[in-house]
């Protein structure tokens, strides 16, 4: 009976695969796009990495990298610092979301918005602000050294990177853990307490163990971000050299450029991230189990000394995380003579910024972001539909390929695009087009994930109902499926938008004077040592990010925030 | 060791609303005691007060002589089976059962042996080393039961444990629960809204409504001698009729739906002369097609259910009633037929006009009281 039932179905499925309908055409179109703008550039990087200066095949670049600790050390450094950032983010982020989820805190909304804001800020602003605070000439350094009998140590190097990135990335852990803690059924905790598991023991035996899958997922995210980060180690790393900085130096450095070697380092970086990614997948599978929905734990008011400590922890952490942004905005109004801040306040920095491409930077930033976002949304919706509703080998391949940028440091994508489109027939380097392509590729995975997840939860029967009422396939898709997906896609898209606005590590390889964005302008000002200008650009960027996030949070329920 | 539970004048308030006011009840050692009532009646609230998850605003709860109001749930020596089982999804079946023992610092071997003993008791040995999400509802229920009992608690609490199971499994599992409770001999407090389930498992049942115990008794007492109209209609099915009680020539006469019935064993009838409520269970009607006297009724329709046939009839005043008869092959009652009903007079319950007191039991109580 079963055989008879299934055979025709199988045939239909096979038949559909070869039928050239609208969706097959879409598959092929996406395949072409991904092939041209993602796989081909990647292949370019790979090819570049095994070429010597004269164009001959060689493994010398890799040999040089692994044989020489001066270079190999960079990847080790990146790995160690990312590991440290991950651990610190977990250590500060898990208590944060525990308190946030289980206590009724005053100003909870503020705490949440603050966390999201610090996480989504441009990558280097935190580092720059901390240098201004705790660097060699930092205001806090001078204050503390006048007061304290001992030296406070250097902000530069390993410690500084960990400080800046942990404060920036712990909200990722929190957003994920909030959801996980919320989904813990109260009766599991009650059952545990009846069996002698209470207090800290219960938190460890039940709470943490139940959220291990989420912990692993959040750890991976933090690690990936820290590993691929370029702005922070570039500014605050100094002697502590990471591989992203080394790629930049090899590719754009003022002395001794070696594009082939830069490509090789990039490839090594990709391999390491891929390995970490797979390791996490493996671990997540081992720990996976399904959590039934139940009634969540009731929030309670924090009381007594413990309650005061909870408040102190929450507000101190968020204060610390927001400090850089606030300090930068403050400094942007301070008078200065390029290198030293002077007493008094004015808008001079902004006036100066106007003469330094501020208008163009803002215009480019917004223009690129809007165009890139439109493309991202279109591709994400189509791809999500193909993957969820038309699952076949080609579409699953597309799905996997679309996630590749997730494990690729921005620099690798930047270099890849330069290599691929440097010469005719597609000479795009230096154009706005290539900037937009870069942004689309870099930030697509987030929206694709949220679109796919949304569609997976939409019952097929909706479309079938529309079809049974006489709607064509196309009409059912446009009038039924797309509107139902819109909420989920929008929430992913806004975060893509913020990430696009603060894009740095690939942009730095591709930008020029015509395609400069706010992040680039701020970064250029920082590297040229003009404090006031740098602060003005950073402040504008910060405010722009904050406004976008405010809009996002206004229209998104907190439970749906995904980063 | 099993304990008796004494609840004295317990009060539960949420903000300004009092959910339970001055509730007192005594639960015997080793007894299977059920809190039964419609949703929102406070039965789960009371159970969670015993467990310690809800605070007690006033009154006392004792386990034997020990007052446990302020004892931590973890120190009350309680085993609990939750409505959704609350099986830890990240632990295997065996680890779930071992969880409580491990927290009690038993030696490793003892933990294993004890867990194995209870795994076998509830017959889940085959799945012992699987993760619980592979298990069916009934199997998860067994895990929850083993896990609750393995630490040899003094009291077993069960909060609607069968409500997530399908009908057939519910019947099977209630037998399992009853049997295991008997074998372990543990004082058990069981919460359910299913009256049939309550009667099947319980030694005694407390029927609750609006935070007040309406009646406390054995399943048999609740069914045959409900204390008031609420219990009468909540337990089993009941036809409620208006009647008139009179005493003539030393005999109690009940006039109901144009029929005059002589009711035996109603000594306090003289005090209750006047309008009354009569509760007649469907099987307490006698439907004899040959009868020419009794309560006249018109057959609306009949539903054949194998053993019995349910008849739906309409009385002269338009009241719809239900009667159950043992089924026969050649049943002649067609819709529209007029019949005369009698009632089993020693079984029907008669309440005062407010429906708050059962005249049969009140009589007995007052006799004892005087």
User: What pLDDT, in 10s, does the model give residues A229-268?
Assistant: 888 898 888 888 899 888 888 888 777 788 888 889 999 9
B20 vs B8: CA distance, rounded Å: 12
* Angstrom distances, CA of residue B312 to CA of A466, B242, B303, B336, B342: 44, 18, 8, 11, 15
Question: How high is the pLDDT of residue A561?
Answer: 65
B268 vs B364: CA distance, rounded Å: 8
Highest mean pLDDT among A469-483, B148-162, B266-280, B281-295: B148-162
Q: How confident is the model at residue B279 (pLDDT cuts 50, 70, 90)?
A: very high
Question: How high is the pLDDT of residue B362?
Answer: 65
For chain A, give the number of residues.
563
Q: How confident is the model at residue B145 (pLDDT cuts 50, 70, 90)?
A: very high
What average pLDDT does this structure show over B13-42? 92
The residue extents of the domains of chain B are 5-230, 237-369
What average pLDDT does this structure show over A114-140? 83
Distance of CA B213 to the CA centre of its chain: 12
Neighbours of A120 (CB within 10 A): 21
* Residue B317 sits at the chain A interface (C-beta within 8 Å): no
* Residue B106 sits at the chain A interface (C-beta within 8 Å): no
DSSP per-residue letters across A139-173: HHHHHHHHH-SS----SSSHHHHHHHHHHHHHHHH
B234 vs B36: CA distance, rounded Å: 10
CA neighbor of B232 nearest in space, from B241, B242, B245, B223: B223
Residues 237-296 of B with CB under 8 A from A: none
Question: How high is the pLDDT of residue A20?
Answer: 63
CA neighbor of A235 nearest in space, from A143, A124, A362: A124
Q: How confident is the model at residue A145 (pLDDT cuts 50, 70, 90)?
A: confident
Query: pLDDT digit string (tens) for A346-359?
Result: 888 888 888 878 88
Q: Tokens 């809800």 correspond to what residue?
A: B54
Spatial strand order in the sheet of B285-287: B285-287, B338-343, B295-304, B308-315, B320-326
Query: pLDDT digit string (tens) for A151-200?
Result: 667 788 898 899 999 999 999 898 888 888 888 888 888 889 888 888 88
Q: How confident is the model at residue A563 (pLDDT cuts 50, 70, 90)?
A: low
B158 vs B200: CA distance, rounded Å: 15
- CA of B95: which chain A residue's CA is closest? A205
> Chain-wide mean pLDDT for chain B?
89
Q: How confident is the model at residue B365 (pLDDT cuts 50, 70, 90)?
A: very low
Spatial strand order in the sheet of B349-352: B259-263, B251-256, B239-248, B274-280, B349-352
Q: How confident is the model at residue A132 (pLDDT cuts 50, 70, 90)?
A: confident
User: B237-369, superfamily in CATH?
Assistant: Nucleic acid-binding proteins (2.40.50.140)
Question: How high is the pLDDT of residue A459?
Answer: 80
Structure tokens at A331: 């400094």
- What single DSSP character describes residue B99? H
HSE of A383, CA atoms in CB hemisphere, 13 A? 30
Instruction: Classify strands B155-159 and B78-81 as parallel, antiparallel or unpaired.
Output: parallel
Q: Can you name the residues that pair with B66 across neighbouring β-strands?
A: B63
Cβ neighbours for A486, distance < 8 A, ≥ 6 positions apart: none
Q: Helices H, strands E: what count in chain B?
A: 9, 20
A4 vs A393: CA distance, rounded Å: 25
Highest mean pLDDT among A277-286, A384-393, B200-209: B200-209
Question: How high is the pLDDT of residue B366?
Answer: 46
Question: How high is the pLDDT of residue B90?
Answer: 86
Query: pLDDT digit string (tens) for A276-335?
Result: 888 888 888 877 777 776 777 888 888 888 899 999 999 999 999 999 889 989 888 888
* Residue B88 sits at the chain A interface (C-beta within 8 Å): yes
Do the Cβ atoms of A503 and A490 come closer than 8 Å? no
Question: How high is the pLDDT of residue A11?
Answer: 41
Question: Closest to B53 (Cβ–Cβ): which among A185, A190, A292?
Answer: A190
A546 vs A307: CA distance, rounded Å: 30
Q: Checking phi first, is residue A196 left (phi over 0); if not, alpha (psi -120 to 50) or beta? A: left
A389-417: b (≥16 Cβ within 10 Å) or e: bbebebbeebbebbebbbbbbbbbbbbbb
- CA of A187: which chain B residue's CA is closest? B86
Statement: residue B218 has pLDDT above 90: yes
Statement: residue B210 has pLDDT above 50: yes
CATH of span A60-331: 1.10.3720.10
Extended strands (E) in B45-111: 58-63, 66-67, 78-81
Question: How high is the pLDDT of residue B158?
Answer: 94
Question: Closest to A187 (Cβ–Cβ): which among B86, B148, B151?
Answer: B86
* Contact state of B89 with A289 under an 8 Å Cβ cutoff: yes
Q: Can you name the residues that pair with B326 across neighbouring β-strands?
A: B308
- What single DSSP character describes residue B130? S
What average pLDDT does this structure show over A132-152? 77
Q: How confident is the model at residue A559 (pLDDT cuts 50, 70, 90)?
A: low
Question: How high is the pLDDT of residue A443?
Answer: 87
- Which option is the CATH number for B5-230: 3.40.640.10, 3.40.140.10, 3.30.70.20, 3.40.50.300? 3.40.50.300
A interface with B, Cβ–Cβ < 8 A, is 185, 187-188, 190-198, 201, 205-206, 209-210, 212, 287, 289-292, 294
Query: pLDDT digit string (tens) for B320-342?
Result: 999 998 888 877 688 888 899 98
- CA of B54: which chain A residue's CA is closest? A190
What average pLDDT does this structure show over B170-181? 91
- What single DSSP character describes residue A429? T
What is the SS3 assignment for B338-360?
EEEEEECCCCCEEEECCCCCEHH
Structure tokens at A24: 């097959």
Question: How high is the pLDDT of residue B311?
Answer: 92
Question: Closest to A194 (Cβ–Cβ): which among B80, B84, B91?
Answer: B80
Do the Cβ atoms of B156 and B189 come closer than 8 Å? yes
The residue extents of the domains of chain A are 60-331
CA neighbor of A181 nearest in space, from A290, A98, A263: A98
Neighbours of A115 (CB within 10 A): 28
Question: How high is the pLDDT of residue B146?
Answer: 93
Q: Can you name the residues that pair with A380 across neighbouring β-strands?
A: none
Q: Which alpha helices (H) appear in A19-138, and where do they start and end?
A: 22-34, 40-49, 60-67, 69-102, 108-120, 125-134
Statement: residue A54 has pLDDT above 90: no
Statement: residue A15 has pLDDT above 70: no
User: Looking at beta carbons, which residues of chain B come within 8 Å of A289?
Assistant: 89-90, 131, 133
DSSP per-residue letters across A519-543: HHHHHHHHHTT-HHHHHHHHHHHHH
Query: pLDDT digit string (tens) for B78-114?
Result: 999 998 888 888 889 999 999 988 888 889 999 999 9
User: Looking at beta carbons, which residues of chain B come within 8 Å of A197?
Assistant: 74, 99, 103
- What single DSSP character describes residue A478? I
Question: Closest to A191 (Cβ–Cβ): which among B72, B86, B104?
Answer: B86
What average pLDDT does this structure show over A60-70? 86
Structure tokens at B262: 């002589």
Q: How confident is the model at residue B368 (pLDDT cuts 50, 70, 90)?
A: very low
Q: Check residues A16 and B296 and name the one with the higher pLDDT.
A: B296
Question: How high is the pLDDT of residue B49?
Answer: 93
Do the Cβ atoms of B24 and B10 come closer than 8 Å? yes
Statement: residue A426 has pLDDT above 80: no
Q: Can you name the residues that pair with A498 across neighbouring β-strands?
A: none
């Amino acid at each position: 009976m079963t055989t008879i039932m299934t055979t025709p179905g199988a045939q239909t499925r096979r038949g559909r695969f070869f039928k050239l309908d609208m969706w097959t055409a879409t598959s092929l179109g996406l395949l072409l796009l991904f092939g041209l703008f993602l796989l081909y550039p990647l292949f370019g990087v790979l090819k570049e990495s095994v070429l010597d200066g004269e164009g001959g095949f060689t493994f010398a670049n890799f040999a040089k990298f692994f044989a020489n600790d001066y270079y190999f050390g960079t990847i080790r450094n990146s790995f160690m610092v990312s590991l440290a950032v991950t651990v610190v983010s977990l250590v500060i982020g898990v208590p944060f979301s525990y308190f946030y989820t289980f206590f009724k805190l005053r100003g909870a909304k503020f705490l949440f918005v603050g966390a999201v804001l610090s996480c989504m800020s441009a990558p280097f602003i935190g580092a720059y602000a901390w240098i201004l605070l705790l660097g060699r000439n930092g205001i806090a350094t001078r204050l503390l050294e006048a007061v304290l009998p001992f030296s406070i140590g250097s902000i530069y190097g390993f410690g500084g990177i960990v400080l800046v990135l942990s404060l920036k990335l712990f909200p990722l852990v929190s957003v994920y853990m909030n959801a996980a803690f919320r989904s813990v059924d109260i009766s599991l905790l009650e059952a545990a307490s009846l069996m002698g598991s209470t207090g800290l023991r219960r938190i460890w035996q039940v709470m943490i163990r139940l959220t291990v899958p989420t912990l692993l997922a959040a750890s991976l995210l933090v690690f990936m971000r820290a590993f691929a980060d370029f702005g922070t180690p570039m500014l605050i790393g100094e002697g502590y050299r990471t591989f992203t900085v080394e790629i930049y130096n090899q590719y754009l450095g003022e002395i001794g450029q070696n594009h082939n070697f830069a490509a090789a380092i990039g490839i090594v970086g990709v391999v390491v991230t891929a390995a970490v990614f797979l390791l996490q997948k493996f671990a997540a599978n081992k720990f996976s189990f399904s959590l039934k929905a139940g009634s969540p734990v009731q929030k309670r008011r924090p009381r007594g000394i413990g309650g005061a400590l909870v408040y102190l922890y929450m507000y101190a952490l968020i204060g610390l995380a927001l400090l850089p942004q606030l300090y930068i905005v403050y400094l942007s109004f301070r008078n200065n003579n390029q290198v030293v801040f002077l007493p008094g306040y004015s808008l001079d920095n902004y006036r100066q910024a106007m003469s330094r491409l501020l208008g163009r930077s803002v215009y480019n930033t917004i223009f690129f972001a809007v165009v890139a976002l439109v493309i991202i949304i279109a591709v994400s919706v189509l791809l999500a539909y193909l993957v969820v509703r038309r699952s076949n080998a080609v579409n699953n391949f597309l799905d996997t390929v679309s996630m590749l940028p997730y494990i690729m440091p921005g620099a690798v994508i930047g270099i890849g695009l330069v290599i691929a489109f440097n010469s005719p027939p597609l000479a795009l380097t230096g154009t706005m087009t290539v900037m937009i392509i870069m942004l689309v590729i870099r930030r697509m995975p987030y929206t694709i994930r949220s679109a796919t997840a949304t569609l997976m939860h939409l019952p097929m029967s909706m479309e079938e109902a529309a079809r049974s009422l006489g709607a064509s396939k196309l009409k059912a898709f446009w009038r039924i499926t797309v509107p139902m997906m819109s909420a989920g896609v929008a929430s992913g898209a806004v975060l893509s938008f913020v990430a696009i606005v603060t894009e740095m590590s690939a942009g730095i390889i591709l930008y020029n004077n015509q395609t400069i964005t706010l992040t680039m302008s701020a970064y250029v000002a920082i590297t040229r040592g003009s404090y006031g200008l740098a602060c003005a650009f950073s402040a504008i960027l910060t405010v722009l990010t904050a406004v976008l996030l405010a809009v996002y949070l206004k229209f998104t329920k907190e439970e749906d925030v995904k980063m | 060791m099993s304990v008796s539970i004494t609840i004295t004048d317990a009060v539960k308030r949420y903000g300004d609303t009092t959910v339970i006011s001055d509730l007192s009840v005594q639960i015997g050692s080793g007894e299977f005691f059920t809190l039964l009532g419609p949703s929102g009646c406070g039965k789960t609230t009371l159970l969670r007060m015993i467990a310690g998850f809800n605070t007690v605003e006033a009154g006392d709860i004792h386990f034997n002589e020990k007052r446990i109001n302020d004892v931590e749930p973890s120190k009350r020596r309680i085993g609990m089976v939750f409505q959704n089982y609350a099986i830890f999804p990240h632990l295997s079946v065996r680890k779930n059962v071992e969880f409580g023992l491990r927290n009690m610092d038993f030696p490793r071997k003892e933990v294993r042996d004890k867990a194995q003993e209870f795994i076998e008791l509830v017959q889940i040995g085959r799945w012992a080393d699987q993760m619980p999400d592979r298990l069916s509802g009934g199997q998860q229920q067994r895990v929850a039961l083993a896990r609750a009992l393995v630490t040899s608690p003094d009291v077993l609490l069960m909060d609607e444990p069968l409500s997530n199971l399908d009908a057939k499994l519910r019947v099977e599992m209630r037998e399992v629960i009853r049997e295991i409770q008997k074998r372990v001999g543990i004082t058990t407090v069981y919460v359910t809204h299913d009256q049939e389930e309550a009667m099947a498992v319980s030694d005694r049942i407390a029927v609750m409504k609006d935070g007040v115990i309406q009646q406390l008794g054995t399943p048999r007492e609740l069914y045959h001698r409900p204390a008031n109209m609420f219990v009468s209609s909540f337990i089993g099915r009941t036809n409620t009729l208006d009647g008139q009680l009179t005493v003539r020539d030393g005999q109690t006469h009940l006039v109901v739906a144009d029929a005059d019935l002589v009711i035996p064993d109603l000594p306090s009838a003289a005090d209750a002369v006047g309008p009354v409520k009569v509760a007649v269970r469907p099987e307490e009607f006698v439907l004899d097609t040959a009868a020419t006297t009794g309560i006249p009724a018109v057959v609306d329709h009949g539903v054949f259910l194998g053993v019995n046939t349910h008849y739906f009839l309409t009385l002269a005043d338009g009241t719809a009633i239900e009667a159950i008869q043992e089924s026969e092959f050649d049943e002649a009652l067609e819709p529209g037929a007029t019949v005369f009903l009698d009632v089993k007079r020693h079984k029907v319950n008669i309440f005062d006009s407010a429906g708050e007191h059962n005249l049969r039991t009140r009589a007995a109580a007052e006799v004892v009281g005087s």
